């Protein structure tokens, strides 16, 4: 008999970025990162386990509810992760997978984080396994998308956890697991995404991680990260926007500085990106609690207080960008409705 489960997992936006890995295939980071889990930008994934086998099948939801074969690179990543999860669970048989995103895929809104978190959780659910969250986060990371390790948890999430919080290092039970540092209801922050570009980025995050150490600025970045992480954790703990924003913007700029100075260089920014950064600075000058950050793409996430959200969204629309209104969320959830 086949079993089916559907899980919705959100994307996340990092305040302290993961950029560069000591092991790219298994997404082992050099340093810890910290993100806010979102609630509107999500991946929904249905997985059916067929004990009789027949080969794995991966589909994406197209316009009008049709199920279509995905791009080859995406399918390859999903098939490899299914194989890994099959070994982890010690089961035979095959999986049928269908997935959809509520936001543009592969354009720097962490679709790999939400996608691989949803896939991992849906496989585990349809096999009726109940591992602890720490193990789930570690399993998601093995997909090769490190940020997926953060998307299995809600609120504000650090990955890997500090040693005393259960993470970091081969000797921990689940090495490089993530940990929630604060729940979503601890601090209601919003994320207004300025969609500058909906196309797929030309250079993948994987390639960006690979090139990062070739930047002459990368070694210095690694020296600075521990202090930044501590500052962001203090800001979250005390809900202090004034403490948070300088580090968040510094981190975003530095990720792109490293990308632009890698060999060969990577330029994710578009002219529209710079226009949004400039507008953000002006909004803050007018007294709004808002700051910018970006992942590996041209789009800009404007992190703001609830009171600033309306004005920030209006300003972004005025610049001619698409607007996605998001905010901190509680993390993945199981759905009763399946995609097939």
Residue numbers at the binding site for ligand PMV (CB under 6 A): 14, 17-19, 33, 110, 112-113, 145-147, 205-206, 295-296
Are residues 128 and 85 in contact, defined by beta-carbon separation less than 8 angstroms?
Answer: no
80 or 335: CB nearest ligand PMV: 80
Residue 336: exposure state from Cβ atoms within 10 A (0-12, 13-18, ≥19): exposed
CB-nearer residue toward ligand PMV: 272 or 297: 297
Smallest distance, Å, CB 150 to ligand PMV? 7
Q: How far is the CB of 147 from ligand PMV (least distance, A)?
A: 3
Least spacing, CB of residue 24 vs ligand PMV, in Å: 9
Q: Strand order of the sheet with strand 300-304?
A: 290-293, 300-304, 190-195, 322-327
Q: Are 114 and 294 in contact (CB under 8 A)?
A: no
Q: Between residues 296 and 298, which has the closer beta carbon with respect to ligand PMV?
A: 296
Length of the chain: 340
On whether the CB atoms of residues 99 and 339 are closer than 8 A, the answer is: yes
Count the neighbouring beta carbons within 10 Å of the beta carbon of residue 219.
Answer: 9
Closest among 323, 325, 326, 320 to 275, alpha carbons compared? 320
Task: Give the nearest distance from C-beta 10 to ligand PMV in angstroms.
Answer: 13
Peptide bond just before 2 cis, omega within 30 deg: no
Nearer to ligand PMV, 37 or 280 (CB): 37
Q: How far is the CB of 314 from ligand PMV (least distance, A)?
A: 27
Instruction: Considering the complex, state which of residue 96 and residue 292 has its C-beta at the smaller distance from ligand PMV.
Output: 292
In the complex, what is the shortest distance from the CB of residue 240 to ligand PMV, in angstroms, rounded to a whole number?
A: 22
Exposed, middle or buried by CB within 10 Å (0-12, 13-18, 19+), for 282?
exposed
| Minimum separation from the CB atom of position 110 to ligand PMV (A) | 6
Q: State which residue, 295 or 326, has the beta carbon closest to ligand PMV.
A: 295
Nearer to ligand PMV, 14 or 184 (CB): 14
């Amino acid at each position: 008999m086949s079993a089916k489960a559907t899980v919705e997992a959100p994307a996340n936006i990092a305040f302290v970025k993961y950029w560069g890995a000591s092991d790219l295939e298994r997404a082992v980071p050099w340093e810890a990162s910290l993100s806010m889990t979102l609630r509107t930008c999500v991946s929904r994934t249905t997985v059916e386990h067929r004990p009789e086998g027949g080969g794995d099948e991966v589909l994406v939801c197209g316009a009008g509810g049709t199920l279509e074969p995905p791009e080859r690179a995406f399918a390859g990543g999903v098939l490899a992760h299914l194989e890994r999860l099959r070994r982890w669970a010690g089961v035979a048989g095959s999986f049928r997978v269908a997935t959809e995103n509520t936001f543009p895929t592969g354009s720097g809104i962490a679709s790999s984080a939400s996608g691989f978190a949803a896939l991992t959780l849906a496989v585990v659910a349809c096999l009726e396994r109940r591992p602890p969250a720490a193990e789930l986060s570690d399993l998601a990371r093995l997909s090769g998308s490190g940020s997926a390790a953060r998307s299995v948890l809600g609120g504000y999430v650090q990955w890997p956890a500090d040693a005393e919080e259960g993470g970091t290092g081969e000797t921990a039970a689940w090495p490089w697991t993530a940990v929630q540092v604060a729940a979503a209801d601890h601090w209601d922050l919003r994320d207004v995404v300025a969609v500058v570009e909906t196309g797929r980025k030309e250079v993948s995050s994987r390639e960006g991680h690979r090139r990062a150490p070739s930047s002459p600025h990368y070694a210095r970045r690694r020296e600075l990260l521990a202090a930044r992480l501590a500052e962001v954790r203090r800001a979250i703990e005390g809900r202090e926007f004034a403490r948070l924003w300088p580090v968040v913007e510094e981190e975003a700029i530095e990720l792109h500085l490293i990308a632009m100075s890698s060999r060969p260089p990577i330029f994710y920014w578009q002219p529209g990106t710079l226009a949004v950064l400039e507008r953000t600075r002006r909004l803050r000058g007018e007294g709004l609690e808002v700051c910018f950050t970006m992942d590996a793409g041209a789009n800009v996430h404007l992190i703001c207080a609830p009171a600033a959200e309306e004005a920030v969204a209006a300003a972004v629309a005025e610049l001619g960008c698409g607007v996605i209104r998001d905010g901190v969320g509680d993390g993945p959830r199981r759905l009763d409705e399946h995609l097939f």
